[in-house]
Amino acid sequence: MTLLEVDDTIVAIASPTSPAPRGVVRMSGDETLAILQQMGIHCEQTSRARRLATHIDVGTPLGTIPVEVMVWPTHRSYTGQPSAELHTYGSLPLLRALVDKAGRCGARAARPGEYTMRAFLAGRLDLTQAEAVLGVIEAEQRGTLDHALRQLSGNLSQPLERMRSTLLDLLADVEAGLDFVDEDISFISDQDLIDRLSAIAIELEQTLRLMQNRGGGSARITVALCGPPNAGKSCLINRLADQQVAIVAPVAGTTRDTVTVDIELQGNHLTLIDTAGIEEAETEVSLQSQAQAQRSTSESRVRLWCVDSTSDDFAAKANELQELANRTRRPQTIDLWIATKTDAAIQSTSTASTEASWIPCSALNGDGIERLKISICETLKQHDTEEIGSVVGTAARCSQSLHQAIAAIQQAIHLTGHQEGHEFVSAELRTVAQCLGEVTGTVYTDDILDRVFGRFCIGK
């Protein structure tokens, strides 16, 4: 198949195929208006987008069905081509009948991602934005959706395009100097070149790191409850999940195996993990449960460190846990500090002597639980906004190009520093520009387009 074929007119069902009140069939291509005409839809010849309510005869056995038609008669559409949407009841046989009729009138069935690819080829979107469209379609988490929307608005491609443009300016200076090499004229000093390349290298490394941090964007968010034995972790997981998933007992060391439960909080899909209280392992069982607890604690995205606010040595326990938290924290880890059993505290615990900011709560009477839930969601949101981020597909596709770009830029810095000829530097800078262009799609090949658009579903 030739991916870059954009002259024919394509048609596909664009809405989910499960029954719904409304379904959409989409068309795009130069013949859109002529095909609509053949289907019995007469559009007056104007250049404005418009909407009309009509009926289409799709043949036996369905007969004539009501359809609302939206037409973009010029290139001012999502795909940059004349296009149309036919809205009717969301029933698969009806939608298929419409697609078949359009097919009989000259349209071709669209391939996966073909609409978005036409938008890309028309310059409506760059490649990272096209991938963000997929990210939006597939987003299961609130945070993932926010990322995809930010990427769609160009937050990833804009800095990359800016860096590429600076680089092309530098390349022009370096290459202009090559023409005057005998006269010893240069358009940029070596030091200036090194400084400006180093700044781009730093920014690229940062972009790459942020991309990789997002690796598992669509997975569930893990939230571990951890802390000393008897701190009230199991009681708290039951309260957060609103069901009895873990055994609660007054003896220390009740929980052995980790217990997990899935919950949803403000659009975030969380997996809560109750762990064994942290203690010196003295038996084989304890050794295993401690190892399991440590693994869950270090791998979880959010950690709820629970300390019993009624205990005499609150501050000592808290400080010990904080050291442990610092030792085991990963770049994306979120630590929250929970003072438990506040209903039973005789006097308010002195949390001031510790560094953390504490969320007081009682799993018994529910005090502070709402605030805890809000804190979890807000910190997740805040962490997500701090990242440039990228949708998972973009990260997978682009990290190699970014690695190559960084290697080439470092080589260019090295060559300049060692006064090697500027012709070698210019070759490296060309590689960098090529790699950055592959990320945003300024430079693309069939293979890249195949990888990006092959992951889409038909109709998008």
254 is a contact residue toward Mg ion (CB under 5 A)? yes
List the structure tokens of 61. 């056995």
- Vertex 321, ends 212 and 228: CA angle to 5°? 115
With CB under 5 A as the contact rule, the residue among 234, 238, 268, 390 that binds Mg ion is 234
Please check whether residue 438 is in contact with residue 403, taking contact to mean a CB–CB distance below 8 angstroms: no
CB closer to Mg ion out of 249 and 316: 249
Shortest separation between residue 375's beta carbon and Mg ion, angstroms: 22
CB closer to ligand GTP out of 195 and 370: 370
401 is a contact residue toward Mg ion (CB under 5 A)? no
Residue nearest to ligand GTP (CB): 277
List the structure tokens of 202. 């730093």
CB closer to ligand GTP out of 231 and 398: 231
Shortest separation between residue 251's beta carbon and Mg ion, angstroms: 10
394 is a contact residue toward Mg ion (CB under 5 A)? no
CB closer to ligand GTP out of 151 and 255: 255
297 is a contact residue toward Mg ion (CB under 5 A)? no
CB closer to Mg ion out of 123 and 250: 250
The DSSP letter of residue 390 is: -
4 binds, among Mg ion, ligand GTP, none (CB under 5 to 8 A by kind): none
CB closer to ligand GTP out of 196 and 373: 373
440 is a contact residue toward Mg ion (CB under 5 A)? no
Candidate ranges 178-186, 249-257, 397-405, 446-454; the one touching Mg ion (CB under 5 A): 249-257
Shortest separation between residue 367's beta carbon and ligand GTP, angstroms: 8
Single out the residue of 108, 96, 88, 78 nearest to residue 5, CA to CA: 108
CB closer to Mg ion out of 15 and 300: 300
Shortest separation between residue 232's beta carbon and ligand GTP, angstroms: 3
Distance, CA of 446 to CA of 434 (rounded, Å): 15
Shortest separation between residue 242's beta carbon and ligand GTP, angstroms: 15
CB closer to ligand GTP out of 52 and 249: 249
Q: What phi-psi label fits residue 40: left (phi over 0), alpha (psi between -120 and 50 degrees) or beta? A: left
343 binds, among Mg ion, ligand GTP, none (CB under 5 to 8 A by kind): ligand GTP
CB closer to Mg ion out of 35 and 321: 321
Shortest separation between residue 380's beta carbon and ligand GTP, angstroms: 24
Long-range contacts of 199-206 (CB under 8 A, 24+ apart): 200/163, 200/166, 200/167, 200/409, 200/432, 201/406, 201/409, 201/410, 201/413, 203/159, 203/163, 204/163, 204/402, 204/405, 204/406, 204/409, 205/406, 206/388
List the structure tokens of 306. 């629970």
Shortest separation between residue 227's beta carbon and ligand GTP, angstroms: 7
Shortest separation between residue 295's beta carbon and ligand GTP, angstroms: 16
Q: What phi-psi label fits residue 123: left (phi over 0), alpha (psi between -120 and 50 degrees) or beta? A: left
Shortest separation between residue 439's beta carbon and ligand GTP, angstroms: 47
Residues found near ligand GTP in the complex (CB under 6 A): 229-235, 248-250, 252-255, 276-277, 340-341, 343-344, 362-364
235 binds, among ligand GTP, Mg ion, none (CB under 5 to 8 A by kind): ligand GTP
CB closer to Mg ion out of 9 and 255: 255
Single out the residue of 387, 383, 386, 373 nearest to residue 266, CA to CA: 373
CB closer to ligand GTP out of 71 and 307: 307
The Cβ-side half-sphere exposure at 429, using a 13 Å CA radius, reads: 27
Shortest separation between residue 247's beta carbon and ligand GTP, angstroms: 7
155 is a contact residue toward Mg ion (CB under 5 A)? no
Amino acid at 448: I
Amino acid at 230: N
Q: What is the DSSP string of 6-26?
A: -SS-EEEE-S-SS-EEEEEEE
With CB under 5 A as the contact rule, the residue among 81, 116, 238, 255 that binds Mg ion is 255
Q: E-assigned strands of 321-425?
A: 334-340, 358-360
From residue 278, alpha-carbon distances to 253, 292, 307, 319, 376 in Å are: 9, 11, 11, 14, 22
290 is a contact residue toward Mg ion (CB under 5 A)? no
Number of residues that bind Mg ion (CB under 5 A): 3
Q: What is the three-class DSSP state of 343?
A: helix
Residue whose structure tokens are 């990228």? 390
User: 260: Cβ–Cβ under 8 A, 6 or more apart, which residues?
Assistant: 271, 272, 273, 274
* Count of Cβ atoms closer than 10 Å to residue 446 Cβ: 11
Shortest separation between residue 144's beta carbon and Mg ion, angstroms: 31
State the residues that interact with Mg ion by CB under 5 A.
234, 254-255
